[in-house]
Chain A
Amino acid sequence: MNIRSILSSRWAVLGGFALGAILLMGVAPAVLSDFRLGLLGKYLCFAMVAVGIGLAWGRGGMLVLGQGVFFGLGAYLMAMHLKLADAPASTGVPDFMALISSDGVPWWWEPFRSGAVTLIAIVVIPAVVAIVLGLATFHRRVRGAYFAILSQALAAAFAIWLIGNPRSTGGSTGLNNFKGFFGFSLRDPANRLMLYLIAAGALLAMIAIARQLMVSRYGELLVACRDAEERVRFLGYNPATIKTAAYTVAAVMAGIAGALFVPIVGIISPNDVGIVPSIGLLIGVAIGGRTTLLGPVLGAIAVAWAETSLSEQFPSGWTYLQGLLFMLVVAFLPGGLASLAPTLRDWRKHRRSDTAAGQPGVAAVPEGSA
């Protein structure tokens, strides 16, 4: 039995997940301070978005540049609920609204007083937006480049709308200063640990879902759509449905990530959802390896970590680094760091003068069509 087949066996997969769970849920809380753990929790939220991007972009070839919108939808929905729950019982009006005007709570905030409605909306609203936009663009065979531009336009419009409605969205400051989370105080470190564990569990679950989708027949079909969409049509499939499904899964993952981001980080603002943060989400995915399962996760965590550590000391240095990473990784290493692994393996095999077995993979970065 060779290494590959051992690694890909069912037990190895379960073992991998168990190891991930131990590291994230056991080791990390034990060795990290509360503050560091909070930061890691934030990175895990970005990693959740990255899992979806890897699926839609890496496997599906859709350049999803508007994931900030879905992230923001989930985040603002959660934030609205938290603000309403924090509001004084006498008026029911969140603090920031009471400061700006005396008009009370806008009608469309009201449903989110209910925790259940909020949780459902966090999944359903991003899904509906993705289905509508996905079917509208993929069904009419709008070019890939047009889809990428439309995603950005949506992110821009969403951010502008948020900024333009300070009374109901907190404007450019966004929503912050949350006190409780479904009845638990956010000041209590035990509750913050619980939130972190929820985020870690959600991330592992999303990785499991993405893995199942990638190894399934659907995953093969998605790659087929990415590489030769028209050909798939002639086999009797409708590529619009196939692509919209992956896009929707990615949107829901981003929405859930946003919803967890809010209590963990304590603030959501248009700065987290516009064009720049939306595209920024892709660099980690590109570095890690867009077509792989774990590359996007590790890449997103590494980039988020680098940003936190560098941007405080050298704010302009971080921007240069981010820009250079986009330029160099995408232009010269389109498969990300993951694409170096087979190269290394071949090199080692070569040294041991083994014969390299042909290994099929979907990891090759496709030649996209615009």
Chain B
Amino acid sequence: MEVLLTQLFNGLSGGSILLLAALGLALTFGQMGVINMAHGEFIMAGAYTAFVVQKALGDAGVSLLVSLPVAFVVGGLLGVVLEATLLRRMYHRPLDTLLVTFGVSLVLQQLARDIFGTAGVDVPAPAWLSGPLEVFGFSFPRTRVFILVLAIVAVIVLAALLKLTPLGRRIRATVQNRQLAESSGISTRRTDLITFFVGSGLAGVAGVALTLMGSISSNLGTSYVIDAFLVVVIGGIGQIKGAVIAAFVLGVVQSWVEYSTTASIGKVIVFALIVAFLQLRPQGIYVVRSRSLA
């Protein structure tokens, strides 16, 4: 029972990290079809933003809360620059965006190494997140609980943004039918930019959360970005709820497989499970019907 609950919590916690990393991709990949490999480096940029903010403010308690919006803006601006310079000319070649953004990711990683050095840096967690949280006699690390809550809040805010605001309607309209959206007066260019800003900003937020998990270095993003893409693949394109389910399922499954075997064979097993799952549902959990031939 003890083990079961701990594993379940570890799974949910791992899932919440995956979800934070994947949420932005659900927008940029899921809604816009861009395979942004630099998403991982936007996460890294968010983490280093937290590092810099803490250096500037000195107070770990306040700096975490300040870092979240700052990192959102930093990630978002990086995304906007990328979209406006390179990706905008590539919407008809979605697969090629993967290679272009891979190049961006190489450059950003090297920049981080040149600026912050190759050794990892630590961002101490604030005092109010240190130690465990006791619930019903079980104890959970407060940092993990914070990340779980942060992920849930991010999902709720994003869902509300898409469902309830005019901006959300514009984004959904542009995704579903670009021409129609354009002819009904929506500036699809601006919508693309804003979508990319929000999606990349979420990567920055994920980066701040990751500073609570350990030291950060230039390759922080690479270890998360593939898993984050897998979350969107499993969830199905164009649906936030698919990504949420997929992230938590993947988190729990990964934690169990790695607990019952070893971390290294666990990855291989999870990969096989995903390929098998796609045999059943090649489009992921949620399918968006479209009439295109492809």
Contacts and interface: CB of A to CB of B under 8 A. Distances in A.
Interface string A77-99: 00000000000000000000000
B180 interface: no
Contact of A136 (B109, B279, B294): B279
Interface string A134-165: 00110011111110111011101110110111
A233 B126 CA distance: 59
B95 to A, nearest CB: 4
B106 A154 contact: no
Interface of A: 61, 63, 65, 133, 136-137, 140-146, 148-150, 152-154, 156-158, 160-161, 163-165, 228-231, 275-276, 279, 282-283, 286, 316, 319-320, 322-328, 330-331, 334, 365, 367-370
B109 A152 contact: no
Given A63-B98, A334-B93, A161 B103 contact: no
A330 B100 contact: yes
B96 interface: yes
18 contacts: A61-B95, A63-B98, A145-B98, A149-B230, A150-B271, A152-B229, A157-B271, A161-B267, A276-B222, A316-B113, A320-B107, A320-B110, A322-B106, A327-B103, A334-B96, A369-B94, A369-B294, A370-B94
A143 B95 CA distance: 10
Instruction: For chain B, give the interface size range.
Output: 35 or more
A38 to B, nearest CB: 27
Given A149-B35, A157-B271, A323-B107, A140 B86 contact: no
Given A316-B114, A368-B95, A369-B94, 14 more contacts: A136-B278, A136-B279, A140-B282, A144-B95, A145-B98, A146-B282, A148-B98, A150-B233, A157-B268, A161-B267, A164-B265, A319-B110, A323-B106, A327-B86
B264 interface: yes
A327 B90 contact: no
Contacts of B86: 327, 331
| Chain B interface helix/strand/loop/mixed | helix
Interface of B: 29, 33, 35, 86, 89-90, 92-96, 98-100, 102-107, 109-110, 113-114, 222, 226, 229-230, 233, 237, 262-265, 267-268, 270-271, 274-275, 278-279, 282-283, 293-294
A233 to B, nearest CB: 10
A145 B94 contact: yes
Contacts of B104: 323, 326-327
A143 B94 CA distance: 11
Contacts of B93: 334, 365, 367-368
Contacts of B106: 319-320, 322-323, 326
B107 A63 contact: no
Contacts of A334: 93, 96
A141 B222 contact: no
Nearest to B293: A230
B168 to A, nearest CB: 23
Contact of A161 (B29, B33, B264): B264
A275 B271 CA distance: 15
B218 to A, nearest CB: 10
Contacts of B94: 144-145, 368-370
A320 B233 CA distance: 30
Given A161-B264, A323-B107, A137 B278 contact: yes
A345 B231 CA distance: 47
